[in-house]
Amino acid sequence: MAHIFDPEERAKLDSPERRTEIPPERTLVRAGIKPGDTLLDIGCGTGYFSLPAARMVGPKGMIYALDVSGVMLADLRSKAASLGIFNIETAQTPQRKLELPEAAYTIALISDVLHEIDDKNSFLAAVASALKPGTLLTVIEWVKKETPKGPPLKERIAEDEMQVMLKKAGFTEPAAAELGPCHILYTCARKAA
């Protein structure tokens, strides 16, 4: 079974170091987010991307923030309320089987989650089935090399393996780009059936 991020360590998710390596607004722009979008943030944690995305999509946009941790979702709801952000809907999803709310998503994000999933192919297939053709997908994952922080090397996903998994799940050829020294950002879209 894969290593799952401990919610007690959630302060690490919004550290100054992470903001330097993966600036949320700039990363969301690279992902293709725009005003009016409906974003599916799978593994949203405490809202590192959901909160700035809610501002970026504006009042006509919507964020669906999903996580397995009720503790992290409670943090996200509290932060959103204190910031006056009301276009985020949260949902706790079971760890074993991804359950996605029905919505007309225009963009989806999976950040630092896929390496924690045991059945990655089924997970990505579930994501693909929830997205209409043309919907953008961004996956952010740890590089497959030793780094000072992050999950064990054996749980990380090699770039060629990620490319194969995404295409097999029904996405276009993913573009890969470095995102700081420890991460890779993959962007693709749901192919027509």
Residue with more model confidence, 3 or 41: 41
Nearest Cα to 175, choosing from 167, 166, 163, 186?
186
Angle at 160 between CA 181 and CA 169, to 5 degrees: 115
User: Is 2 inside a domain boundary?
Assistant: no
Label residue 7 by pLDDT band (50, 70, 90).
Answer: low
User: Is 141 inside a domain boundary?
Assistant: yes
CATH number at residue 95: 3.40.50.150
pLDDT of residue 2: 53
User: Is 111 inside a domain boundary?
Assistant: yes
Residue with more model confidence, 12 or 166: 166
User: Is 143 inside a domain boundary?
Assistant: yes
Nearest Cα to 51, choosing from 21, 30, 72?
72
Task: Tell me the average pLDDT across 56-65.
Answer: 97
- The share of the chain scoring above pLDDT 70, in percent, equals 94
pLDDT of residue 19: 80
pLDDT of residue 53: 98
User: Is 76 inside a domain boundary?
Assistant: yes
H/E stretch holding 42 reads: strand 38-42
What range does the domain containing 113 cover? 7-189
Count of structural domains within the chain: 1
Q: Tokens for 122? A: 């089924």
Residue with more model confidence, 96 or 121: 121
Label residue 5 by pLDDT band (50, 70, 90).
Answer: low
Contacts 24+ apart (CB under 8 A), 147-153: 147/181, 147/182, 149/182, 150/182, 151/3, 151/115, 151/116, 152/3
> How do residues 82-106 score in pLDDT, each as one tens digit?
999 999 999 998 877 788 888 899 9
